[in-house]
Amino acid sequence: MSGIYQILNTAKDAFLASQISMEVTGSNVANASTPGYVRQRAVLAAKSPGEVAQNATQSGVEITTIERLYDRFIEFQLVDQSSQVGDASIRKETFDRVEAIFNETDGGGLNDMMNQFWKAWEDLSANPTGQVERTGLANAAGNLTTMFREYADELYNVQVDLNVQIEASVGQLNGTLSDIAGLNDKIVQGYSGGVNVNNLLDQRAELLKKTAGLIDIQYVEETGGAVNVFTADGRALVQQGRSWQLDVRNNGGFYDVVYADNPTVPINDAIGGGKLSGMLGMRDTTVAGYLAELDDLAETLVNAVNAQHASGYDNYRNVGGNFFEALGVTGARGMQVAAAIQDDPNRIAAAATVSADGDNARAISDIKDQALMSGTLSTLGDFYAALVGQIGQDVAEAGRTATHEASVMTQMVSAQEQRSGVSTDEEMINLIKFQMGYSAAAKLAGAADEMLQTLLDMV
Amino acid sequence: MLTRITNNMRFTTIIDNLNRAQNNYSSLMEQMSSQKKINRPSDDPVGATRVLDYRSAQDSIAQYGRNIENADAWLQLTDTKLENIGDLIGQAREAGVNNQSSETAQVLAQNVGSLLEEILSLANSKFGDRYLFSGSATDGAPFERIILPVANSENGFDGSVYTGGTYTGTADKSYTVRIAGSGAPGTATCELSDDGGATWSAAATVPASGTVSLGDGLTVRFGDDGATELTAGDLFYVNAYTGGQTTDARIDTPRAAANNGFAGAVALDASSGTYGGDRNRTYAVKFVGGGAVGDADYRVSSDGGKTWGAIQTASWGNTITVDNTVGHEVVLSLTASGPTDQLDDNDLFFVNAYAPGVYSGNGEDLSIATGRGSHMTYNVTGEEAFTDRGRGTVDLFAALESLKTALENGDREGVNAQVDRLTTAQDSIRQYVAESGARMSSLNISKENYQVLDDKISGLLSETEDVDLEQVIVEFKMKETALQAAYAMSVQIGKLSILDYLG
């Protein structure tokens, strides 16, 4: 007896299988452009007959699972590469800003101002009592200090902006970490309840990449479905349903990254990748380094000019005072021409004796040729040119790194796409296939129906 | 297995390719519009460093050029003035040589007088507002009309004679001193005339100091440096000019720097002697650390503050000796304005001391940077050109004034002696003309060398930072084509889909 009804049952299974397969196809097509979406496939299996029979010919079909087509290994690499890209991209962005500050290629920059400054001293040495020359020098000196202040301020602003971004990134990171913890809970529940959690898995993979873009992490997937996330040196960030929040703490004007529950221990050094690493590195090492070199340059210039200036005499026969104000803790950011000189250029000590000669002005202009920098190896001008060259090299290097990391990322994304991406063409063909399956199942049901009708007609 | 090409892959590839093509295109566009291949340091870090070096070198060269032009202008003016002076000296010499009769002598004397005034104004020439012949003290006129004591050539006395004091008369006047009784100062007697020898005063003893008062504030001093004492019949002539400069050594009123903390007065102490140096000097006192009068530590400079002696820490009452030559001390005294008036760190006082003669400048050089580490002197000091101090050979103005007086007084021998001095003076002026000519030509050579160097550096700069336009245009065309292809392709990509073939 089992025969015809069995055929109908099989047809029913086939209807169902086709329908679900088409639903999955529909979801794939709908999410073709959704970032992080992993294509899914209904996995069909032949249903074994209820009991083992001698000559069982019929078996139905069943959906064993909705499979997520992804490659765990590529996924790991992508998370890792997100950290590299995050780090390199923030460095590149910051370097572009720094380079714009030091762009001397059009002239009118610090190099020019230094040259103008020395020229003004030489002009004054040729006419030491000339008011035009004195005012010219006071202006040139003013422009030089303004330029030093601007450059140093700009660098400092870059540091401050990075600092603000660090705070914002830590906030963002806390959000993604607690989202991952939340998803962990749902996924574990879903797994144990046999619910399809593919969407949640997609979301969590995206969040892991986002997290890695901010800070370098390692993660392990537990058998229950939860992932545990750690910093590169093994401090826990997420464990199952719990996340550890990070925070920032002011340390001498700039923020340290700390654990919220252990705010006195900075973990800056434990961060070796992601945007946070790039921001911390640029703020505390690279930009701070350039600023220190600029401070060094300003300080040497100020001290050398002041020392020589003090051995001369001004137009009122006074012993030369400070030409520049002594640099304070703010370094080049606070560079100023001495107030007395600003108020009255006759206070410029151009003379080497009380007889109004110009020899001290000449001696000051000679400072430009003295090897005062880098342990008496280079002049002030050489030092600055070398700094600009160094920045250019660093920028070029950062640009190359960013391009390289981005192209590695593109390759990995493409590898992942090959495996997990949606191809509309493929889905369409699958659709045709499932449609045909559905039609065939209908034919089968129709045939069984006819057979049953025939049987009934016999009665 | 064939690669699966997904929707996202097709579009990301297109976007990547478009970005790349656009980047290349716009970078070339930037190079074309700026005409520079280095538009930011990272385009070519080494090149960018070089560009800065080249620019600084060009700025330095431009400045050296300006320095050279300044010095050259100064030297040209010096050259012209010295040549004029040389010619005028020649004319004065001729007047002496042509002195044949006593009738022409007075005319010639007047002639020499006006030549002297002309030379004086030339010697006080300025470049802008700086005196050419003041040494480094370019803010003060180096010469005044001289009030010179002229000894008759037949005199027995052979020591130096100086005028002193300040002539307060309102008209020019001729004084004559005639020795009536021989002997050293203190013994000898003299008679005075203030009308060219028409009337004489009664004989009076020459004071032991050797200083005889002529009237109207003017004095004449007989030095003790001769071999023969004053002899009866010796004649000395002094032409006094209003505002004229006497020839004895003198010390200016000491001055304080304008912004000293000390508000009290500085003066030349009474214990000062006659200045005994043989060149003009500026003495300066600088206080170190400050303190009360008598306590504050100080240093002394005898070269206008260029170099300083050791810090003096002993208490000093209210006087500081800046020149301790015995009998010729220069001593400053400081008087506080009140009990709380103190000397501050770096308070400065200075005083000019002048050797006998008429020069008010100094013997310091002016120099200018003509290259990295090389400086060139560009001035001729009045001291070396017109006086017998320092490198100088003849006191030109004394010779002219003596010539004039000798002509006035019919002193043939005196005239001849001055003609010889003027010949020497003319030779020495010619030598300085030649020297400044040599300096000018050396400056011109440097200038030409700098022009060549500047051209070379411009070439290097252009090679480093300027684009090779042809090459860039060709590349630009290539990239443009690539970009067009990328656009064309991106439009095509959406057109191909299986959907077009499904019924």
Cβ neighbors of B156 (< 8 A, separation 6 or more) are B182, B228, B229, B230, B231, B233, B234
**Alpha carbon of A47: minimum distance to chain B alpha carbons (Å):** 30
Instruction: Collect the ranges in chain A with pLDDT lower than 50.
Output: 1
- Which residue in B has a C-alpha nearest to residue A392's C-alpha? B42
Question: What are the φ and ψ backbone dihedral angles of B265, each rounded to 5 degrees?
Answer: -105, 150
Nearest to A76 by CA among A243, A205, A240, A228: A205
Contacts of B6 in chain A (CB under 8 A): 32, 417-418, 421-423
- Please report the pLDDT score of residue A58 as a whole number: 66
Q: Where are the beta strands (DSSP E) in A246-390?
A: 246-251, 254-259, 262-266
Mutation for testing the A interface, residue in B15, B33, B46, B49 having most A CBs under 10 Å: B49
Contact B350 A354 (CB under 8 A): yes
* C-alpha to C-alpha distances, B202 to B184, B188, B377, nearest whole angstrom: 19, 13, 55
Contacts of B41 in chain A (CB under 8 A): 99, 102-105, 388-389, 391-392, 395
Which residue from A126, A352, A391 is facing B67, i.e. has the nearest CB? A126
Contact A417 B8 (CB under 8 A): yes
**For residue A340, what are its two tokens?**
């007395």
- Please report the pLDDT score of residue B1 as a whole number: 61
Instruction: Collect the ranges in chain B with pLDDT lower than 50.
Output: none
Contacts of B27 in chain A (CB under 8 A): none
Mutation for testing the A interface, residue in B1, B3, B5, B6 having most A CBs under 10 Å: B6
Mutation for testing the B interface, residue in A105, A400, A424 having most B CBs under 10 Å: A105
Cβ neighbors of A35 (< 8 A, separation 6 or more) are A206
- Please report the pLDDT score of residue A346 as a whole number: 94
Cβ neighbors of A11 (< 8 A, separation 6 or more) are A441, A442, A444, A445, A448
**Alpha carbon of B13: minimum distance to chain A alpha carbons (Å):** 9
**Alpha carbon of A392: minimum distance to chain B alpha carbons (Å):** 4
User: How far is residue A67's CA from residue A63's CA, in Å, rounded to a whole number?
Assistant: 10
Contacts of A102 in chain B (CB under 8 A): 41
Which residue from B4, B49, B59 is facing A418, i.e. has the nearest CB? B4
CB contacts < 8 A, A to B, total: 221
Contact B41 A32 (CB under 8 A): no
Contact B282 A354 (CB under 8 A): yes
**Alpha carbon of A112: minimum distance to chain B alpha carbons (Å):** 8
Contact B4 A369 (CB under 8 A): no
* C-alpha to C-alpha distances, B276 to A113, B279, B381, B396, B398, nearest whole angstrom: 50, 9, 21, 22, 20
- Please report the pLDDT score of residue A397 as a whole number: 94
Which residue from B39, B139, B373 is facing A369, i.e. has the nearest CB? B373
User: How far is residue A281's CA from residue A268's CA, in Å, rounded to a whole number?
Assistant: 9
How many C-alpha atoms does B18 have within 13 Å on its Cβ side? 12
Which residue from A128, A318, A418 is facing B259, i.e. has the nearest CB? A318
Contact A385 B49 (CB under 8 A): yes
Which residue from B41, B46, B465 is facing A395, i.e. has the nearest CB? B41
How many C-alpha atoms does A105 have within 13 Å on its Cβ side? 25
Residues B435-463 have pLDDT tens digits of: 999 999 999 999 999 999 999 999 999 99
Which residue from B36, B45, B502 is facing A392, i.e. has the nearest CB? B45
Contact B258 A317 (CB under 8 A): yes
Which residue from A130, A362, A424 is facing B7, i.e. has the nearest CB? A424
Which residue from B62, B63, B306 is facing A352, i.e. has the nearest CB? B306
Rg over alpha carbons for chain A, rounded to the nearest Å, is 37
- Which residue in B has a C-alpha nearest to residue A431's C-alpha? B502
Which residue from B39, B129, B348 is facing A129, i.e. has the nearest CB? B129
Please classify residue A456 by burial: count the beta carbons closer than 10 Å to its beta carbon, then call 0-12 exposed, 13-18 middle and 19+ buried.
Answer: exposed
Please classify residue A55 by burial: count the beta carbons closer than 10 Å to its beta carbon, then call 0-12 exposed, 13-18 middle and 19+ buried.
Answer: exposed
By DSSP bridging, strand B146-147 and strand B245-246 are parallel
User: What is the three-class DSSP state of A102?
Assistant: coil
DSSP letters along A292-312, please?
Answer: HHHHHHHHHHHHHHHHHHTTS
Side chain identity, residue A30: A
pTM of the model: 0.85
Mutation for testing the B interface, residue in A96, A319, A431 having most B CBs under 10 Å: A319
Residue written as tokens 């021409």?
A337
Contacts of A317 in chain B (CB under 8 A): 255, 257-258, 348, 350
- Please report the pLDDT score of residue A383 as a whole number: 94
Contact B40 A99 (CB under 8 A): yes
Contact A319 B348 (CB under 8 A): yes
The greatest distance separating any two alpha carbons of chain A, rounded to the nearest whole angstrom, comes to 142
Side chain identity, residue A440: A
Contact B348 A122 (CB under 8 A): no
**Alpha carbon of A119: minimum distance to chain B alpha carbons (Å):** 6
Contacts of B51 in chain A (CB under 8 A): 104-105
Which residue from A95, A353, A399 is facing B304, i.e. has the nearest CB? A353
Nearest to B126 by CA among B379, B313, B362, B300: B379
β-sheet bridge partners, residue B283: B351
Q: How far is residue B206 CA from its own chain's centroid?
A: 42
Cβ-contact A215, A161 below 8 angstroms: no
* C-alpha to C-alpha distances, B345 to A311, B103, B286, B290, B314, nearest whole angstrom: 14, 66, 8, 4, 17
- Please report the pLDDT score of residue A55 as a whole number: 60
**Alpha carbon of B261: minimum distance to chain A alpha carbons (Å):** 11
- Which residue in B has a C-alpha nearest to residue A130's C-alpha? B129
Contact B43 A419 (CB under 8 A): no
Residues A149-198 have pLDDT tens digits of: 999 999 999 999 999 999 999 999 999 999 999 999 999 999 998 888 99
